[in-house]
Structure 1
Amino acid sequence: MIYDIKFTPGTDQDAERGLLAFVRMCYGPLVVDGVTLRRTRAGSLTLSWPSRTDRSGARHALVRPLNDSAREELEAAVFAELRRQEAGQ
């Protein structure tokens, strides 16, 4: 269950590179922070998941969806909350 979704807008400079906001959400008993909401060059919204880079330059996900079904569920919840918040403004 995904709940308590919060958005922190990126800067204008971030938006020029497609980063619209930072996302924090609760998923069951966990807080997932550091997810970014991005707009692709094609114009669609997507989520990017936090990762770290090791000494050799390889990236390792800190948290990520288990599979496409989980990704779709998470995106649907975040995008629905985004629409809800935008409509309330």
Structure 2
Amino acid sequence: MAPLVQHYAALAQSATNSEPPPEESDSTALLADLDELQSLLARSDLKALDVHARVQAAGLAAGAKGFAELDQAVRDFDFARGAVLCDHLLAALRNRSAFG
């Protein structure tokens, strides 16, 4: 009987685990990276290139509407346009996560 109690104790412990589901933590990480990217773009900070590369490497934003335009703006070093496009992308992603 003790193994059964241990099994249920382990299940109860895992049920109270506060880690978000992987897709939720991915979404949170993407929004944080895009927030950072937007801030850097707005300041014309070249560190934006590193954050942009990180967002691309994660691959989470690749299919998001508006990411291709943001990607092109960063590649063109048009940071002012990139900051505006990043704002729009963030608003769309936050709106989608708030309602979906």
- Tell me if both proteins adopt one fold, taking TM over 0.5 as the criterion: no
Structure 1 or 2: larger helix share?
2
Structure 1 or 2: larger strand share?
1
Using the size of structure 2 for normalisation, the TM-score is: 0.33
Larger relative contact order (Cα-Cα within 8 Å, sequence gap ≥ 6): 2
